[in-house]
Amino acid sequence: QVRLVESGGGLVQPGGSLRLSCAASGSIARNYAMGWYRHAPGMQREKVATITNGGTTNYADSVKGRFTISRDGAKNTVYLQMNSLKPEDTAVYYCNLHETYDSEYDVYDYWGQGTQVTVAS
């Protein structure tokens, strides 16, 4: 059983910064990826950034150079540092855990409750 708890959202002016955190509780597989997705009203849900157990990161083109995903030494918390924020970054941000056990079919997905990020002047 895994539970994800997100925090760090809020209101920020364009050009400002926010740092989101996602704390994972429970037993996590050796092979996993954690990431952030966002969903704005009227828009498709978008994968923002992911990081694997090996440290490989991927970013959406829209956030490259501005956002950084990282995890702590205990590998139980993932962060999303968001700099140079734009109004179009406004969305609910969701934390995701995707883990794999013995085979490519033995996989599990978990989602956090979401945290609101609003970028406006």
Both ends of the chain: CA-CA distance in Å?
A: 41
pLDDT (tens digit per residue) in 31-87? 899 999 999 999 999 999 999 999 999 999 999 999 999 998 666 899 999 999 999
Residue 9 CB coordination number (10 Å) = 17
Rounded Cα distance, 120 and 4, in Å: 28
Split at pLDDT 50, 70, 90, the class of 30 is confident
* pLDDT for the residue 72: 87
